[in-house]
Amino acid sequence: MQWKALAGLTLGATQAHALLRFACSQLVVERFDPLLNPGAVSPHVHQVRFVSFNVTMDPGNDFPSISTCTTCTFKEDFSNYWTAVLYFKHPNGTFKRVPQLPGQLLGNPNGGMTVYYIQPPSGSFTSFKKGFRMIVGDAMARAVNTSSPEANAMNFRCLDANGGNGGVTGAPGTDSQTLPSKPCAGGIRSQINFPTCWDGVNIDSANHKSHVAYPTNGACPSTHPVQIPQIFLETVWDTAQLNSMWPSGTPQPFVFSMGDPTGAGQHADYMFGWQGDSLTRAMNSCKDFGGSCSTLLTQSESAINSCKQQARVDEATDGWLPALPGCNPIQAGPGRAVANSGCGAPTTWIGTDPTAPPVPTGNPPASTVTPPVSTVVPAPGGTAAHWAQCGGQGYAGPTTCASPYTCKAQNAYYSQCL
């Protein structure tokens, strides 16, 4: 399969070519997607990395100059990364957002997305240009098109009890292109490869995909002859803590935020934002699998975890919810899902109009942002799991954390079990 070939490319890169592998903590969870739904609330929830994230994001914005912090290990990376969110459907019909675990050897970032930048095997590449953006995946897909290079560039890995992943290519039976059908003792890891070939002209396209392409037999097509660094995103979903609520013999209970119980609709968005030529310098020299890079500035774990943004859509995304946020009934396919509306979900956001010229910080002034009202449904059992919310203004869920974690305030509106 194509993703096996891409895994092989990753292996080769770790052995002989430049590689960046680093953590990015979670900035916010909310229904924004400035690529597919600019200036409007997105149909479904995303998890986001990076502080300049907004409802509308002009390609002319210089992210390093308008941002106050970055959620990523390297201070020079002001790029935006976001993916759909995974939920657990309880037998009683309620939904709970699945927390994330950090990648191996990367400390304890809050949220735990692992980002890779991998130099092409040839060693020759062109870095992304200011304003460059792209999307991989199709949120409305409910069946895997095995003839599609894009669909074959995404998969899942069922991790063992100690988080083992079976190596780069995975042990037999650990990888699948849809969500695993059995409980995974160490959680489920989403694995998403972005295209590595560019047309050399356009920093974006109408569908946010046509200006890039995947290689064929290791070579870029003539329509997209320029090699760019491979971006590979990993998200480890801590499904293990919910396995005990999975009734034996029933279908797998995990569903993505767009109402996708198959996993075929997983997707990711990217907006380039590295400072100056820092990415080019790093891609020409750094090969450490998760360590420091001498040409880049590394920030502390506490610094990346403190980079936060208040959600601005007035709805609950965490705790035990009666329905997925937005209008997202479960649609199992195999036909494509259809968009839904009219369920009463919020369609406006809190704060200033982000379509106006950007303010100096790249976000609405704090004085104009009103915190959302929490409508969280308390969790069964009365305790909050690791990474779960356990307090904050308006919060109605459990305030006691499962052992050995304690409830720690992140701000006036959000406390978390850490």
Least confident among 39-43, 123-127, 375-379: 375-379
* pLDDT at site 6: 44
Residue 322: which of 99, 95, 98 has the closest Cα? 95
* pLDDT at site 335: 97
CA distance 276 to 78: 11
* pLDDT at site 64: 72
Q: What average pLDDT does this structure show over 29-52?
A: 74
* pLDDT at site 239: 96
User: Are residues 228 and 126 in contact, defined by beta-carbon separation less than 8 angstroms?
Assistant: yes
pLDDT surpassing 90 at residue 93: yes
How would residue 47 be classed by pLDDT, with cut points 50, 70 and 90?
A: confident
* pLDDT at site 126: 95
Q: What average pLDDT does this structure show over 108-115?
A: 86
Q: Which two tokens stand for residue 131?
A: 């304003």
User: Are residues 137 and 177 in contact, defined by beta-carbon separation less than 8 angstroms?
Assistant: no
Long-range contacts of 404-413 (CB under 8 A, 24+ apart): 410/308, 411/308, 411/310, 412/371, 413/310, 413/371, 413/372, 413/374
Instruction: Determine how many CB atoms are found less than 10 A away from the CB of residue 407.
Output: 18
* pLDDT at site 367: 30
How would residue 103 be classed by pLDDT, with cut points 50, 70 and 90?
A: confident
pLDDT surpassing 90 at residue 404: no
Least confident among 78-87, 341-350, 396-405: 396-405
Helix (H) or strand (E) holding 305: helix 301-306
pLDDT surpassing 80 at residue 283: yes
* pLDDT at site 255: 98
**What is the rounded average pLDDT for all residues in the chain?**
81
Share above pLDDT 90 across residues of the chain, in percent, rounded to a whole number? 47
CA distance 387 to 407: 9
* pLDDT at site 289: 67
How would residue 49 be classed by pLDDT, with cut points 50, 70 and 90?
A: low
pLDDT surpassing 60 at residue 353: no
* pLDDT at site 361: 34
Residue type, 417: C
Task: Look at 172 and 102; give whichever has higher pLDDT.
Answer: 102
Where is mean pLDDT largest: 6-15, 76-85, 215-224, 362-371?
Answer: 215-224
pLDDT digits (tens, 9 = 90+) for 160-205: 987 776 666 667 778 999 999 999 999 999 999 999 999 999 999 9
pLDDT digits (tens, 9 = 90+) for 222-271: 999 999 999 999 999 999 999 999 998 899 999 999 999 999 999 999 99
pLDDT digits (tens, 9 = 90+) for 74-83: 999 999 888 8
How would residue 358 be classed by pLDDT, with cut points 50, 70 and 90?
A: very low
* pLDDT at site 311: 77
Instruction: Determine how many CB atoms are found less than 10 A away from the CB of residue 370.
Output: 11
Q: What's the half-sphere exposure (Cβ side, CA atoms, 13 Å) at 155?
A: 23
pLDDT surpassing 90 at residue 336: yes
Q: What average pLDDT does this structure show over 367-388?
A: 46
Q: What average pLDDT does this structure show over 274-279?
A: 94
* Cβ neighbours for 219, distance < 8 A, ≥ 6 positions apart: none
Q: What average pLDDT does this structure show over 380-397?
A: 66
